A = this chain, B = another copy of it.
Amino acid sequence: MNAVSAAQEHQNRPVPRPKRKSGGKVKRMPREVRERQMLDAAVEVFARRGYSAASMDEIAELAGASKPLVYLYLNSKEDLFSACIRREAEALMTAVRTAADPGDRADRRLWHALRAFFAHTAEHPAGWAVLSCQARTHGEPFALVVAGLRQQIADLVTQLIAESVRDAACAAPLDEKEVSGLAHALVGAAESLAGWANATAQAGPAAPAARETAATLMNVAWVGLENLVNGRRWAPVRS
């Protein structure tokens, strides 16, 4: 099982969206399953409306459960949001980490990580929206989780860049802070591209888009990095 398909694993798979209101008797199901449905619904609604505009009513309805049940299992709107963020962050991180399979060259690992990132965000647009937009704007506890995620990814990238540089036995070793900055730029670029890719091509399937997007980024960043490593820089007043 590769990273991408693994990443898709975590959401409403065989559990059919239950229909309520349609006369039938109450659908009994184990707590675990219900909870997943609720999280799925919550991610969807939070993504669509934003944290405060999302209503527990809508979430419950989309989850096919009653509000009291949502509260019974997930305690409060805040806890629910928190659970969403944690789940989505973990899923994304797992996807990316799994893809950056050790035992390959550093540039290829970065390439795979990028592809996994784009693929995952494309597959889970709602989750990505929650992580990238909603979570950042709602108070410490949430923002911290997202910041942690960012840091983890940036660390991974930093490490990959450092490895490549070591591989390349470059002449001018990079400043650590510069590498870190680079990693953040890359992550930011990736995030932005993810959003853009989602917005631009919502028609076609996800994989090709992920591939292209990753390629674009690699084209700029990696080659730029090589030049950087070789000491060739752009300077504001050059020539």
Residues of A within 8 A of B (CB): 49-53, 107-108, 111, 129, 133-134, 136-138, 147, 177-178, 181-182, 184-193, 195-197, 199-200, 212-213, 215-225, 227-228, 232-234, 236
Contacts and interface: CB of A to CB of B under 8 A. Distances in A.
A177 B199 CA distance: 13
Contact of A220 (B136, B177, B197, B225): B225
Given A192-B188, A193-B188, A223-B228, A234 B218 contact: yes
Contact of A181 (B181, B213, B233): B213
A219 B147 CA distance: 25
B220 A108 contact: no
A228 B226 CA distance: 12
Given A51-B53, A133-B133, A220-B228, A187 B182 contact: no
A232 B232 CA distance: 15
Given A111-B236, A184-B193, A185-B217, 10 more contacts: A50-B52, A51-B53, A107-B234, A182-B220, A185-B189, A185-B220, A187-B192, A188-B195, A219-B224, A222-B234
Nearest to A154: B196
B221 A233 contact: no
Contact of A216 (B133, B178, B189): B178
A189 B216 CA distance: 13
A21 to B, nearest CB: 16
A53 B51 CA distance: 8
Given A50-B50, A234-B107, A216 B185 contact: yes
A234 B190 CA distance: 16
